[in-house]
Amino acid sequence: MSKPPCKLPAEVLEYFPYTSARPHQDEFIATVNQAVNDRKSVLIEGSNGLGKTISALSACLPVAMKKNLKILYVARTHRQHDRVIDELRMIYKQRPVTGVSIRGRNEMCLNVFAAKGAFDSKSLMEVCELLKAKGRCSYYRNVENRSYEYLSLQQQVASRPYMGSEILRVCKKKEICPYELVKGAVHDARVIALSYLYVFDPQIRSAFLKNLETELHKIILVVDEAHNLPETAVDISSSQLTLFILRQAEMEAERFGYKDIEEFTHFFRGELDKLTDKISKEEIISPDRIVEIIEKQGGIAKPREFFIHMHEAGVAIKKALLAEGKNPRSYVNATADFFNKWLDTINDNSYINVASKYFTKDGNKTAKLEIVALDPAKITEPVFSSTYANVIMSGTLQPLEAYARINKLPENTVRFLAPSPFPKEHVFSAVCLGVSTSMDQRTPKMYQTMIDRINEVVNSTPTNTGIFAASFQVLNALLSEGLEQQLLKPLYYEKSGMTSKVNEKLVHDFKECGDKGGAVFLGVQGGRTSEGVDFPGNQMNSVVVVGVPYAEPTPRVRAQIDYYEDRFPSRGREYGYILPAMKKACQAAGRPIRTLDDKGAIVFLDFRYATAYCKSFIPSWVTNGMKILPDKPDVLAQEIRDFFSNQSSTS
């Protein structure tokens, strides 16, 4: 195979499987390769179409091979994990390299009994260990009972790149535990593609590294779609306790004879109900207030000792349930863990405590207590400071200095903005003046103006158009003001609380309209479609970003701003309020432009995107040549028509 005519390091050329590099891809690869060779982290923004996956792999593999390191490639979706294996298979054609993608434990588990009742991956891990210890999982027993088949499969998986879905399919057929098979195979895998939780959740990471029989300093970590990491890190650190969990814990304690725990959970359920009765939505409360309620009204003189006792009772309940042939999950245990964390974080100003009232799907009032983390660095810094090197990349990371500070990246982290590979003539971008979703401007007249502009885009676009609103409130207002009735193409729209399965069907049906005259998709910025789905080619020709998705200024949002203001003086509002919103908007804006061949129009329906401040957070490939359009009918329509007319004449 001939080698690409680009300035790539010689060691990289052995692992780069393509005959030519895309525009600016060589700069991306060389930057990553140099940083990893120097044992430094690299924070790198590169747009879609650049080929970030193969770039990171071919840049890191030479170092991993020389130093006998493993590459952990973390990403959010199975689609991204499988993409890593696809690229490894291309490399495998010219260099022997091994790799595996790992699905979440809940998806790798074939034991219906275990998977059905687990709260989350952590509780499933506990259930799994209990079942294995008691000899209650046939799939695990078959690892020994069919040892020849198991070892043969393990050798097969360890010989070349394999996807988690392929392993799952084979194991299902042979009735062997896929999780155990992957555990056995990862020892010999050079590259492992997996979810963020395996690396950033301390409890899951500890178990995973133990199985891997290695430590962080022997790992090159690649974080893809890294703009998601701060939010994920905060979620990992946060906890909640609902009235439902307390009620279940009370019944569980009664059933297993723990009178003191039954009385406490009953008492505290009433206290939480009273505490939230006068709260309109949510309120930050002093952690000492809850401790005082527990001690004085609850009569628990030593809360720490009581919650340790409660945790031990939960463990005993799990074992008893398993002995009964029932799923070993315990609400008593979950409640104890929450209160122990409450006590652990009571003097830590990087956490706040929130009491809130909300309504269930059935319309019933309920309440919860939350421990809300404010500092993603508490989760990210221990990882980034311990690995051999880190490659942190996404298409939306600007400003890089802000990202590095928020996640506390190592001081010597290399920062690089990769130029866009997209031909300028393939992208049209514009901001419409005279429209905004700021709260004081959300009038019927404003929404009608927005609908008029949306119609100008839809009617001037050859096939599919995507619309991503700032929130479900804005989305529903567009619908109530008659968007669907005024469109000349079919409308597919997201609904709040929609399941992933229903959403996938909705997106699939919309995409199919790309070859049938076109349709319109209406979703929200920051939703699963605006960040997790690609729409290349005619699947989405134009995208309309309606409004700036600033968070509702709730007490927790204000606390986040205040926390960052304390850590980074004069930057609190930018880091805690502006940046999260602009990341969502930029992700939505990039949906139609996914490959070098895509040609798309990006329209921002909010005058605020025309300000120098907001533009500074938008990738340069979008802002280059961005037009500011006056508040006049048909101007936008003419611009869109001209753009697509020029594309047709030059194609």
pLDDT grade, residue 323 (50/70/90)? confident
Q: What is the pLDDT of residue 120?
A: 62
The residue-averaged pLDDT of 70-95 equals 93
Q: What is the pLDDT of residue 5?
A: 44
pLDDT grade, residue 7 (50/70/90)? confident
Alpha helices for 158-258 (secondary structure H): 164-174, 178-185, 196-200, 202-212, 229-237, 243-255
- Number of Cβ within 10 Å of residue 104's Cβ equals 18
pLDDT grade, residue 111 (50/70/90)? confident
Give residues with Cβ within 8 angstroms of 79, minimum separation 6. Answer: none
pLDDT grade, residue 471 (50/70/90)? very high
CA distance 265 to 263: 6
Q: How many CA atoms lie within 13 A of 303 on its CB side?
A: 22
Please report whether residue 130 resides in a domain.
no
pLDDT grade, residue 321 (50/70/90)? confident
pLDDT grade, residue 98 (50/70/90)? very high
Please report whether residue 466 resides in a domain.
yes
Q: Pick the residue with more confidence: 49 or 92?
A: 92
pTM: 0.90
Please report whether residue 205 resides in a domain.
no
Let me know whether 362 and 434 are in one domain.
no
Q: Is the pLDDT of residue 390 over 90?
A: yes
Please report whether residue 6 resides in a domain.
no
Let me know whether 354 and 449 are in one domain.
no
| Beta strand 365-373 pairing with 239-242 | antiparallel
Let me know whether 245 and 344 are in one domain.
yes
Q: Which CATH number goes with the domain that contains 572? A: 3.40.50.300
Question: Domain tally for the chain?
Answer: 2
Q: Which CATH number goes with the domain that contains 273? A: 1.10.275.40
Give residues with Cβ within 8 angstroms of 313, minimum separation 6. Answer: 253, 256, 258, 261, 332, 333, 336
Weakest mean pLDDT among 123-132, 237-246, 249-258, 304-313? 123-132
Q: Is the pLDDT of residue 415 over 90?
A: yes
pLDDT grade, residue 421 (50/70/90)? confident
Integer angstrom CA distances of residue 455 from 212, 341, 395, 473, 491: 55, 52, 29, 20, 12
Q: Is the pLDDT of residue 362 over 80?
A: no
The residue-averaged pLDDT of 404-422 equals 94
pLDDT grade, residue 234 (50/70/90)? very high
Q: Is the pLDDT of residue 387 over 50?
A: yes
DSSP states along 484-511 = HHH-SS-EEE--TT--HHHHHHHHHHHH
| Beta strand 389-394 pairing with 42-45 | parallel
Alpha helices for 201-242 (secondary structure H): 202-212, 229-237
Burial class (CB within 10 angstroms; exposed 0-12, middle 13-18, buried 19+) of 124: buried
Which tens digits make up the pLDDT trace of 114-134?
766 555 666 677 777 777 877
Let me know whether 363 and 442 are in one domain.
no
Let me know whether 615 and 498 are in one domain.
yes
Please report whether residue 81 resides in a domain.
no
Q: Which amino acid is at 509?
A: D
pLDDT grade, residue 650 (50/70/90)? low
Q: Is the pLDDT of residue 651 over 50?
A: yes
Q: Is the pLDDT of residue 210 over 50?
A: yes
CA distance 463 to 143: 52
Q: Which amino acid is at 99?
A: G
Residue where a domain terminates, one of 331, 350, 373: 373
CA distance 364 to 361: 7
Write down the mean pLDDT value for the chain: 91
pLDDT grade, residue 352 (50/70/90)? very high
Q: Is the pLDDT of residue 1 over 50?
A: no
Let me know whether 264 and 361 are in one domain.
yes
Domain that holds residue 254: 237-373
The residue-averaged pLDDT of 147-153 equals 86
Q: What is the pLDDT of residue 2?
A: 36
Q: What is the pLDDT of residue 4?
A: 43
Phi, psi of 45 (to 5 degrees): -100, 130
Let me know whether 456 and 339 are in one domain.
no
Which tens digits make up the pLDDT trace of 535-555?
988 999 999 999 999 999 999
In the DSSP assignment, the letter for residue 577 is: I
Please report whether residue 416 resides in a domain.
no
The answer to whether 446 and 478 are in contact (CB under 8 A) is: no
- Max mean pLDDT among 78-82, 275-279, 318-322, 577-581 falls in 577-581
Let me know whether 448 and 309 are in one domain.
no
Q: Pick the residue with more confidence: 57 or 149?
A: 57
The residue-averaged pLDDT of 55-64 equals 97
Q: What is the pLDDT of residue 309?
A: 97
Q: What is the pLDDT of residue 238?
A: 97
Please report whether residue 3 resides in a domain.
no
Residue where a domain terminates, one of 304, 339, 373: 373
Let me know whether 355 and 500 are in one domain.
no
pLDDT grade, residue 157 (50/70/90)? confident
Give residues with Cβ within 8 angstroms of 486, minimum separation 6. Answer: 451, 455
Please report whether residue 494 resides in a domain.
yes
Residue where a domain terminates, one of 373, 406, 438: 373
Q: What is the pLDDT of residue 122?
A: 64
Q: What is the pLDDT of residue 364?
A: 83
pLDDT grade, residue 3 (50/70/90)? very low
Q: Pick the residue with more confidence: 131 or 59?
A: 59
The residue-averaged pLDDT of 516-539 equals 91
Which tens digits make up the pLDDT trace of 247-267?
999 999 999 999 999 999 999
The residue-averaged pLDDT of 22-51 equals 93
Which tens digits make up the pLDDT trace of 216-233?
999 999 999 999 999 999
Q: How many CA atoms lie within 13 A of 544 on its CB side?
A: 31
Let me know whether 339 and 432 are in one domain.
no
In the DSSP assignment, the letter for residue 276 is: H
Let me know whether 447 and 565 are in one domain.
yes
Let me know whether 342 and 436 are in one domain.
no
Q: Is the pLDDT of residue 84 over 70?
A: yes
